[in-house]
Chains A and B, each alone.
Chain A
């Protein structure tokens, strides 16, 4: 079961790493922000939850989330019919893995630069 969960997380992470750009903003705090907001909104879309769209920044995170959720549904048939809690759990794993690859485990020495 754990193996399957890991494999699924890897599939979703691979897609982001290959097709998206939003995870690679140039500073650690910015990446954390992007990962958190876009992946939260993606989870909300996949779980049919309400997505907050109050501010322009919200809308900006949301458009990337819409396209990501759409691609996930299209490419990964296993997502369909998966209970909402399981989708949420997998997305939590995706978020953790993305934070590791792009921030905490990243070898990019510019991430902690104080200035842009």
Chain B
């Protein structure tokens, strides 16, 4: 597995150890990109800061909480319109964002007084919200404001409110990943074990590392409830503050994004003896296996099998319709941390696309081990790429599409490569059986977009065809398909609703009401 030095990075030779091409017959013991290191001076990284990793990724998806940044207002930019971790309480946590708005005078004279005033004002403005998280930023960390002390003072003066403090300033780690770590540990140290949750089933899990992007958590919660499993808390998408304080009461921690949330699972295992089970919620095969694993743990596997059977019968013909049309399309799988391994094998197996490159902005070497193991030979794996390397890689690999974040996505668009937002999705949810078809549909729509085809023409030099009229995606995608595939009556395109989550809240869950089957474990 040769290390790869991009031409554009020849002046930063250290970058060579951050990129590897997966060679035939080679293993992880031959080469592995470095990871989770400080960005090398001279390379403009696409990473976020440790405050961002703590607040915008993990803290803010908690729904019934005032999320307050103690710092300049700019730090808290990410909210409605940029984040899509929705919640079932009218999205309180993304509609409202709070910052103490530190200014120069606070840096000189201290900002504790102003912080206290902000906390009280925020609670008064939203009297139905009783919990708050406060996030340290670079500015408040550097001047040494004691946020914990102020929080303790307010909790004493305002009985009934509870405050969590996360000391993870922007500089507290090489990337957002440092912040994931800090908030995991801060939460278990400060809050887990301080609330007794209501136990409604013999089978109780925490669903960890799931952020309810466009409703992913709602879909998974539905599967668990259909099996009679209580999701005591979700860390943290659509999660409630008090439920998360009661995490110690679950029988099992089901871990989805190990990159951002393995720490709390490991600590829960150590401190409370709750085992950790890693799962893959994406793709028919991995999702089915994951549901079975959780059910097996509790001795109710038949319930999982029934769901898998029903959902596969309903959605597989639609997944296959897209797979037939996406076969051989080249993908650069360039997400933040965990999706490179959640998706690398299963988009190849189930959607027939070829993953020509994986990268991670803030992943650790463990994420690369998983991602490289799962992608096909020849793929280029890059750690913490800079923009020029991204451009060079696209030039070299000529992908049909990339899955990445907004910033690199917009760069790709400029060179006429369509992108899907791997963090916030396009028409999600993408988890679950139906969600996986929606993902395939988004890929299809991007790859075969007629507008995108037009954008490849340069009006300053290309000849613009005037003899071609209107085209549709279908005309583009079906042009070279064998007849039996094109006219197949077995397969069909997505037939679900625009809002596929409508009606979930009215569903009945018989297993959640009746006594669970005998022979339950744990």
Contacts and interface: CB of A to CB of B under 8 A. Distances in A.
B278 A110 contact: no
B276 A60 contact: yes
B365 A56 contact: no
Interface stretch (B26-34, B121-129, B443-451, B498-506): B26-34
Contact of B365 (A17, A64, A67, A108): A108
B365 A116 contact: no
B277 A108 contact: no
Contacts of A64: 277, 293
A26 B364 contact: yes
Contacts of A102: 28, 369
A61 to B, nearest CB: 9
Nearest to B278: A21
A101 B29 contact: yes
Given A24-B369, A109-B365, A110-B364, A59 B29 contact: no
B258 A21 contact: yes
Nearest to A97: B27
Contacts of A50: none
Contacts of B374: 17-18
Contacts of A26: 258, 262, 266, 364, 366
A11 interface: no
A59 B373 contact: no
Q: Is the interface of A mostly helix, strand, loop or mixed?
A: helix
Contact of A17 (B296, B366, B373): B373
Interface string B92-132: 00000000000000000000000000000000000000000
A37 to B, nearest CB: 11
B296 A66 contact: yes
A83 interface: no
Interface residues of A, number: 29
Interface string B287-298: 001001110110
B252 A116 contact: no
Interface string B131-146: 0000000000000000
Interface in B241-264: 251-252, 258, 262-263
Nearest to B29: A105
B262 to A, nearest CB: 6
B273 interface: yes
- Pick from A57, A59, A102 the residue with the most CB of B within 10 Å: A59
B378 interface: no
B521 interface: yes
A107 B521 CA distance: 38
Contact of B275 (A19, A57, A110): A57
A22 interface: yes
Contacts of B263: 116
A116 B262 contact: yes
A26 B369 CA distance: 11
B476 interface: no
A107 B29 contact: yes
A63 B275 CA distance: 12
A12 to B, nearest CB: 14
Contact of A63 (B34, B274, B297): B297
A56 B276 CA distance: 10
A76 interface: no
Contacts of A62: 296
Nearest to A13: B27
B458 to A, nearest CB: 42
B364 A56 contact: no
B181 to A, nearest CB: 8
A59 B522 contact: yes
A101 B276 contact: no
Contact of A67 (B275, B292, B364, B373): B292
B192 to A, nearest CB: 15
B280 interface: yes
Contacts of B278: 21-22
Interface string A50-76: 000100110110111011000000000
Contacts of B275: 56-57, 59-60
B267 to A, nearest CB: 7
B266 to A, nearest CB: 5
B4 interface: no
Interface in A7-42: 17-19, 21-22, 24-26, 30
A25 B263 CA distance: 11
A106 B252 CA distance: 29
A62 B522 CA distance: 13
Interface of B: 27-29, 31-32, 34, 36, 181, 251-252, 258, 262-263, 266-267, 273-280, 286, 289, 292-294, 296-297, 341, 345, 364-366, 369-370, 373-374, 521-522
The 5 closest A-B pairs by CB, nearest first: A105-B29, A60-B275, A107-B32, A17-B373, A108-B365
7 contacts: A24-B370, A64-B293, A67-B289, A101-B27, A102-B369, A108-B365, A110-B364
Given A56-B252, A107-B31, A116-B181, 20 more contacts: A21-B258, A21-B341, A21-B370, A22-B278, A26-B262, A26-B364, A30-B266, A56-B275, A57-B275, A59-B275, A59-B521, A60-B277, A60-B297, A63-B297, A64-B277, A101-B27, A101-B29, A107-B365, A108-B366, A116-B267
